[in-house]
Amino acid sequence: MTNLDIWTYSVVGFTFALYIGIAIWARAGTTGEFYVAGKGVHPVANGMATAADWMSAASFISMAGLIAFEGYGASVFLMGWTGGYVLLALLLAPYLRKFGKFTVPEFIGDRYYSQTARIVAVICLILASITYVIGQMKGIGVAFSRFLETSYEMGLYIGMGIVAIYAVLGGMKGITYTQIAQYVVLIMAYTIPAIFISLALTGIPLPQIGLGGNYAPGDGTMTLLGKLDQVVTDLGFREYTTAVMGSTLNMFVYTLSLMIGTAGLPHVIIRFFTVPKVKDARYSAGWALVFIALLYTTAPAVGAMARLNLIDTIQIGPVGAEDGNLLYEERPEWFKKWETTGLLQWEDKNEDGRIQYYDDTNPEFAEKAQSFGWEGNEMVTVDRDIMVLANPEIAGLPNWVIALVVAGGLAAALSTAAGLLLAISSAISHDLLKGVFLPGISEKNELRAGRISMIFAIILAGYLGLNPPGFAAGTVAIAFGLAASSIFPALMMGIFMKKMNNAGAIAGMLSGITVTLLYVFQHKGIFFVPGTDFLMPELGMGEDWFFGISPNAFGAVGALVNFVVAFIVAAVTAPPPDHIQHLVEDVRVPRGAGETTGH
């Protein structure tokens, strides 16, 4: 066993023991503790737990990988996810907390005075959550397969077991305090390597500032981004600081879809039901934004520096000659280790012993490449999800830092997976079983049903992680699109439109999610690449995309359909009862308003 193996097993083992210990300590004894942690979580603690819940494997592992390869174009994820959280904090969280229910479908069912609306909301919630949780399972599998030297499948089984222990035992109470610990682990794992690498490349300890600093290994006159632009364009790739993903319209719609999808994700919304008072929901939203910003402002630096380090370390050169033939240095050790996972592969197409990594789809660069004797890009597989996990190894950082990054990636995936699975479990046990089919069920039996639902949800998530359906290649962004097109409009209209009735809300949710799913399935042949999580821009824009809008960005269009259909149906059907309209007005009016004047 190597020194790195010892560090990795020790750090990951310690964090897993911590999570299980918290779960045993915070075991839920009532449905209130299982669903909303007894509504007794401190705003700062809830902000930290929300940040961990929110920053999934997509944020920790995938986002910096996207930024590394897409550059400026990947800013849609930073803007969309961060903007969406602000939208959630300002427009939804306080009002939903004041309504005082356990789940999002329960709010929709009561607000629209309809069990049908509640059932439709449950279906939409499960579709979005299951799609999202597949991405978390991939993150768990990737981390385990490389660093704990297990198969991808075994990594998933271990991750499922850990989640099952603390989520089934503790429910929201256990998940909340576990997520606080997971936030501390993941933010340390993300920022510490970034500080090391920023110092090495720019001499500046803060990566957020280092990104705009000068490239230290050079002569001191070129900026880090200028150096990266030069390196990638010299290899035929698009300029890093100006590349976009598709058209300008697609960038805008993609950002909007991620924003409103964020505001509609049930596992994030449910966190605001756990605080004691309405004002605590506002405070916890503000604290969560601070905690999220620590990672999100670091991600652009991590992505840019990872891309530069990757290119620098694989461009191996001659180290001598034998019998008139040049001898080249071996591939880096970190490269060989990642090759064993299948997530990084190269093919010596011209048999010169070197790795030629360039854009062989660029016709302007093809002639130059031929003059060099290159016969195609030899980096045949570079899974973007490995960049954050491999970055410390590429940069030659200490083994304890590499082990910490592994623990951070697992913490990010596990924390979000637990939140999603709880949202699915509560939708089944609280909204369907107690709310619709067995309203007289006792609290003890409802709690038991919640735990059984959680176990089945974990098994289903694991199965889909091992056998992802055809549409799951774009899992993360697709999940946001499904939430954007179904749940977000229903919540917004439920809070701010007292005249919106049940018929309009139901028709809107069904039409929005149906249009989005049809568009996704229709274009999966053009768009999806097995084993990836996001849009692959090198495939080009689909010729039959609606106004050039990619399937991952279509959630915003689905939301527009939802709003339009809801307005039309509501206009030709009976308005909500008076008590529902008064309820909507009461939710929007702060407590204590009018006390001074008596109005």
CATH code: domain of residue 79: 1.20.1730.10
Q: Are 159 and 414 in contact (CB under 8 A)?
A: yes
Least confident of 35-39, 217-221, 231-235: 35-39
Burial class, 592, CB count within 10 angstroms (exposed 0-12 / middle 13-18 / buried 19+): exposed
Q: Give me the mean pLDDT over the 153-175 stretch.
A: 76
Listed residue (9, 126, 89, 64) closest to 412, CA to CA: 64
3-state secondary structure at position 116: helix
Kindly report the CA angle at 442 between 441 and 446, in degrees rounded to 5? 75
Q: Is 219 in the same domain as 337?
A: no
Query: SS3 for 344?
Result: strand
The rounded percent of the chain whose pLDDT value lies above 70 is 85
| Mean of the per-residue pLDDT values of the chain | 79
Higher pLDDT, 480 or 488: 488
Clarify whether residues 370 and 462 are in a common domain. Answer: no
**Of 111, 200, 247, whose CA–CA distance to 546 is shortest?**
247
**Based on the domain organization, do 381 and 400 belong to the same domain?**
no
CB 147 within 8 Å of CB 1: no
> CA–CA separation, 127 vs 572, rounded Å?
30
**For residue 599, what pLDDT band results from cuts at 50, 70 and 90?**
very low
Q: Around Cβ 564, how many Cβ atoms within 10 Å?
A: 14
For residue 479, what pLDDT is reported? 79
Q: What is the pLDDT of residues 315-364, one digit of tens each?
A: 665 545 555 554 555 677 888 888 877 778 888 888 777 788 888 888 88
Between the CA atoms of 198, 204, 209 and 210, what dihedral angle is there, to the nearest 10 degrees? Answer: -40
Instruction: Check whether residue 15 and residue 106 sit in a common domain.
Output: yes
| Domain termination residue (choose one: 339, 372, 390) | 390
- Tell me: do 249 and 352 sit in the same domain: no
Q: For residue range 300-309, what is the model confidence (pLDDT) as tens digits?
A: 999 999 888 8
Q: How far is CA 26 from CA 21, 92, 173, 176, 455, in A?
A: 9, 28, 6, 9, 18
CA dihedral over 263, 264, 266, 270, signed as positive or negative: positive
Average pLDDT over residues 463-474: 58
Q: Is the same domain home to 179 and 262?
A: yes
225 belongs to a structural domain? yes
Kindly indicate the confidence band of residue 527, based on its pLDDT and cuts at 50, 70 and 90: very low
Name the more confident of 48 and 93. Answer: 48
Quick: pLDDT tens for 497-512: 889 999 999 999 999 9
pLDDT of 425 > 70? The answer is yes
Per mean pLDDT, which range of 121-125, 158-162, 514-518, 525-529 is the poorest? 525-529
Say if residue 362 is in the same domain as residue 450: no
Half-sphere exposure of 62 (CA within 13 A, CB side): 25
**Are 279 and 164 contained in the same domain?**
yes
Domain end point (choices 390, 408, 430): 390
362 part of a folded domain: yes
Q: Which of 406, 334, 348, 376 is nearest to 147 (CA)?
A: 406
Q: Which is higher by pLDDT, 32 or 580?
A: 580
Compute the Cα dihedral for 327, 333, 335, 336 and give only its sign.
positive
User: Tell me: the pLDDT tens digits for 44-58?
Assistant: 888 888 888 777 777
Determine the Cα–Cα distance for residues 438 and 201; give it in Å rounded to an integer.
62
In this structure, is residue 111 part of a structural domain? yes
Element (H, E) at 338: helix 333-339
DSSP 106: H
**597 domain-assigned:** no
Residue with tokens 């974990």: 458
Residues 6+ apart with CB under 8 A from 144: 150, 152, 154, 155, 156, 158, 159, 410
What is the reported pLDDT for 56?
Answer: 74
Report CA-CA distances (Å) from 472 to 137, 291, 428, 465, 527. 12, 29, 23, 9, 11
Domain membership of residue 369 (yes or no) is: yes
Whether the pLDDT of residue 30 is over 80: the answer is: no
Q: How many distinct structural domains can be found in the chain?
A: 2
**158, containing H or E segment:** helix 152-163
Q: Does the structure show a pLDDT above 60 at 226?
A: yes
pLDDT at 209: 92
- Among 356, 390, 424, residue at a domain's last position: 390
Is residue 287 domain-shared with residue 331, that is, in the same domain? no
pLDDT on residue 504:
95
- Spell 376-405 as b/e; 16+ CB within 10 A means b: ebbbeebbbbbbbbbbbbbbebebbbbbbb
Q: Does 134 map to a domain?
A: yes
Cα distance between the two ends of the chain:
74
How many CB atoms are located within 10 Å of the residue 317 CB? 8
Q: How confident is the model at residue 563 (pLDDT cuts 50, 70, 90)?
A: very high
Cβ atoms within 10 Å, residue 158 = 18
pLDDT at 85 over 50: yes
404 with 547, same domain? Answer: yes
pLDDT tier, 102 (very low <50, low <70, confident <90, very high otherwise): low
Are the C-beta atoms of residues 486 and 493 closer than 8 Å to each other? no
Point out the least confidently predicted range of 33-42, 467-476, 562-571: 467-476
Could you read off the pLDDT of 244-293 as tens digits, one per residue?
Answer: 766 778 888 888 888 888 888 777 777 777 777 777 777 888 888 889 88
Residues 6+ apart with CB under 8 A from 90: none
Percent pLDDT > 90 in the chain is: 12
For residue 325, what pLDDT is reported? 54
Domain co-membership, 302 together with 333: no
Domain identity same for 282 and 359: no
Q: Is residue 152 situated within a structural domain?
A: yes
Helix axes 152-163, 3-25, angle to 10 degrees: 30
The confidence band for 489, taking pLDDT boundaries of 50, 70 and 90, is very high
Query: For the chain, what is the largest distance between any 2 Cα atoms, rounded to a whole number of angstroms?
Result: 99
Mean pLDDT value of segment 359-372: 83
Look at residue 1 in the predicted model and tell me its pLDDT.
64
Residue 558: which pLDDT band, with cuts at 50, 70 and 90? very high
> Which tokens belong to 208?
């957020």
| Pair 555, 84: CB distance under 8 Å | no
pLDDT in tens, 132-143: 777 777 777 766
Question: Are 356 and 350 a contacting pair, CB within 8 Å?
Answer: yes
**Is 33 a residue whose pLDDT tops 50?**
yes
pLDDT band at 572 (very low <50, low <70, confident <90, very high): very high
Mean pLDDT over 91-106 rounds to 78
* pLDDT grade for 570, boundaries at 50, 70 and 90: very high
Find the helix or strand (DSSP H, E) in which 322 lies.
strand 318-322
Instruction: Out of 67-76, 116-125, 584-593, give the one with best mean pLDDT.
Output: 116-125
Residue 364 in domain: yes
Domain housing 379: 327-390
| Whole-angstrom distance, CA of residue 355 vs CA of residue 143 | 25
